[in-house]
Amino acid sequence: MAEIVVADGSWGFDGETLRLVPGSGKDVHELRRTLGELVVPLEAVAGIAFEPSRKGGHIRLRLRKGADPLTDAVAGSLGPPADPYRLAVPKDRVGAAEYFADEVRDTLRLWPHSTTAAACDGFLLPGPAVPVTATAGDGTATFDGERVRLEWTGFAASEKEHAGPQELPIGEIAGVEWKPQSGMGYGTLRFRVKGEPPARPPQKDPHCVAWGIQRYGGTTALVAAAVYARLPRDAQELPPAPAPAGTGAAVGGGSGDVHDAVLRRLAELGELHRSGVLTDEEFAAAKQAMIRRLQDS
């Protein structure tokens, strides 16, 4: 059996399955801690590699399309430290990491190439357990296996407050989309409902939780994956909805939109700082960036 144990977690391989256990330290992302141990059958693996860096590197596991609801739901958008299929390795454990990756890779070579290259007909991992709840930015999303409930925080725009809490039975959901926060764009967990027109901007869409500070939106990706795992196959393969006219990665089209969004994000920053998510240094740097954005708008 091959095994590597580092502060970021432990990975083991017995020739048939990989066991990925996240570390318990405060530097381990909450998404990985919440998801917990993963048991990955070798047939779900498309490849593995050790990626060196100045401080050591990462072991990165690639899964076959259709093998894992989380991998497919986030469409490759989870990066370190949130990605459960990457293990951060310090310099003094690089040799062990390379050996571990070689052991898995050598075993994979014994499998038919078509098995690891082709998409799976059905999920080989179960996805996050339900019920699952996540709060980020302007809302809280809860999924109990049968319906999604969306409730709004104090950061929600008036359109969402007026719409009130939303309940979406799984049979009415046509698709789920998850994107991380990037630049001045929102991170989003959006549910597409059957028979509804193209989605509105995230801050106004009552079927979308949006955040502007936390890059990966806490554990929202787990809600997305749990819903995704229970959708019909044709809904899982549904292409993303077209962006509404006049919207894009930017916070808003006009200066008023930018002004309102920046003020809302400043409030989010304060809340994250008070709750301990952001350190004093991170809060100060992010606050200055938001203030500069406000002055430039």
Q: How high is the pLDDT of residue 280?
A: 74
Q: Among the listed ranges 49-63, 144-158, 234-248, which one has the minimum average pLDDT value? A: 234-248
> Does position 187 have pLDDT exceeding 80, yes or no?
yes
> Does position 25 have pLDDT exceeding 70, yes or no?
yes
CB atoms < 10 A from the CB of 195, how many?
6
CB atoms < 10 A from the CB of 12, how many?
15
Q: Indicate the helix (H) or strand (E) that contains 103.
A: helix 94-108
User: Which has more pLDDT, 255 or 165?
Assistant: 165
Provide the 3-class DSSP secondary structure of residue 165.
coil
Pick from 149, 254, 275: nearest CA to 209: 149
> Does position 237 have pLDDT exceeding 60, yes or no?
no
Q: What is the mean pLDDT of residues 215-225?
A: 97
CB atoms < 10 A from the CB of 220, how many?
30
Q: What is the mean pLDDT of residues 44-65?
A: 95
Quote the radius of gyration of the chain (alpha carbons, Å).
20
Q: What is the mean pLDDT of residues 218-234?
A: 93
Please state, for a pLDDT cut of 70, what percent of the chain lies above it: 80
Q: How high is the pLDDT of residue 251?
A: 38
Report residue 145: phi and psi, to 5°.
100, -20
> Does position 228 have pLDDT exceeding 50, yes or no?
yes
- Give 93-137 pLDDT, tens digit per residue: 999 999 999 999 999 988 765 556 678 989 999 999 999 999 999
Band of pLDDT at residue 286, cut at 50, 70 and 90: confident
For residues 274 and 267, what is the distance between their CA atoms, to the nearest angstrom?
11
For residues 184 and 187, what is the distance between their CA atoms, to the nearest angstrom?
10
Q: Read off the DSSP letter of residue 66.
A: T
Q: How high is the pLDDT of residue 184?
A: 80
Which amino acid belongs to residue 62? R
Q: How high is the pLDDT of residue 240?
A: 46
